[in-house]
A and B are shown apart, each in its own frame.
Chain A
């Protein structure tokens, strides 16, 4: 029972972590909580179902299901990344330099717009993911790890490792870290800060799309308001790990998934959502900078 819950929690935690990365990267660079980020994840979930449907009609699914799923994921990522890029250019960039509250309100506006747009065009009822991933499962001492859980956990860890290596060793990744530490100085050394911001939104939105498809296939059904609650939970994960810190978002996401899953099993499943927000409140009271949050002191 315990290990089963750990596996379930890890799966969920991976999805939270992947979404949390988008929050934390944008916050690190712009100091903005992008409240529309959860909706991009929702959009990714819808797009993956829509593309999968299109490929089924086109006959690609009957030719190769793996190809069809891969292409749907790829297209969902491309669409969401393009949306993330456009969103930054239209809803946030014009407000840069104004008060910190303005882009935040704009983000909430984008969020409301996306939710309602999807509800209007896709309907208010649940959408079903058309394909079940249960090829096989590993059963060991009463604990079962399904192929889908394995896929979600493995691909999440690959993505996180990839992102970590990208920010640590690539030139663009270094520029992202430099910009998040001192944007003015970054432009003084010749970094095109606007480009770094665009790249950040593109990566964050692409990751959210992947998380969207993971959840759509894991739970099997989605609706237009899944982005809200997942967004707030991923935000909690980012705060728990230390907002602005990429490894923090990964750890925060996994921790949150585990707490939620174990709490549901041993305390009560009724309070599933309350655990996340309980953690948020406790973290904000005890250690607002989070587990791996950077301290703000700087040598003069």
Chain B
């Protein structure tokens, strides 16, 4: 078991965003969180990354409770996030954006990581000095994923990676996610494109108003009547 969340509660001021979340992620899996707007998906990822401090509950990563640790400490433990909206550093070059992703990577392994990421996204090789802010949405998404991989994460958190992208580009991103997972990185994916996400993942959790409503294998949930009605528009 790579990650286990027990009874996690998170609030923004007096508003409870996560009421009681428990889930588990096994080594090598792709896990999807689906749910409507405001269900608490992004909140869960931000709590995992240490940006939001939980009110209560445990986040066990490799058996160690990381709830409430600082974000940089969590990155160092091997959890990396591609946040919603990609958040590329607009005034930094492509290369510098990648270097930032490897901020806590030792100089010795940094070179190797850069090589791996440039191999995964060869388009960036000749565009390494281009400013991040001038890339298209799809390119920014790829760069954001590349940047997150720079820290050699064991668990990769992806928040709405296909949002705002053309269907072709979205397909490309999903293929990349699959590829990264094959290389041994465990993936926790938040997606509004529930159909694509459910067919990509091994297991999924359906969040509703800050609580887990349903969980199961991706392909079973695709055929679930409730899920069909609420999230697949059928």
Contacts and interface: CB of A to CB of B under 8 A. Distances in A.
**Interface centre among A184, A190, A192, by most B CB within 10 Å?**
A190
A181 B90 contact: yes
B92 A178 contact: yes
B100 A174 contact: yes
A188 B51 contact: yes
B100 A191 contact: yes
Contact of B164 (A185, A191, A294, A300): A300
B137 A181 contact: no
A190 B103 contact: yes
Contacts, number: 74
A177 B51 contact: no
Interface of A: 171, 174-175, 177-178, 181-182, 184-192, 294, 298-300
B137 A189 contact: no
Interface stretch (B35-43, B81-89, B208-216): B81-89
B137 to A, nearest CB: 7
A181 B75 contact: no
A185 B76 CA distance: 15
Closest 7 CB pairs of A and B: A190-B75, A187-B71, A185-B87, A190-B104, A190-B72, A190-B103, A181-B89
Interface in B97-148: 99-101, 103-104, 133-137, 140, 147-148
What is the predominant secondary structure among interface residues of chain A facing chain B? helix
Contacts of B100: 174-175, 178, 186, 189, 191
Contact of A185 (B83, B91, B99, B140): B83
B92 A181 contact: yes
A147 B140 CA distance: 52
Interface residues of B, number: 34
Nearest to B82: A188
B133 A298 contact: yes
B99 A294 contact: no
B151 interface: yes
A300 B89 CA distance: 12
Contacts of B76: 190
A268 to B, nearest CB: 41
Interface in B40-67: 49-51
A16 B70 CA distance: 38
Contacts of B83: 184-185, 188
A177 B81 contact: no
A299 B135 contact: yes
B81 A298 contact: no
8 contacts: A174-B92, A174-B100, A178-B100, A184-B51, A184-B87, A187-B71, A189-B100, A299-B137
A182 B71 CA distance: 14
B96 interface: yes
A298 B90 contact: yes
Nearest to A184: B51
Contact of A299 (B50, B72, B80, B140): B140
A178 B89 contact: yes
Contact of A177 (B49, B80, B91, B140): B91
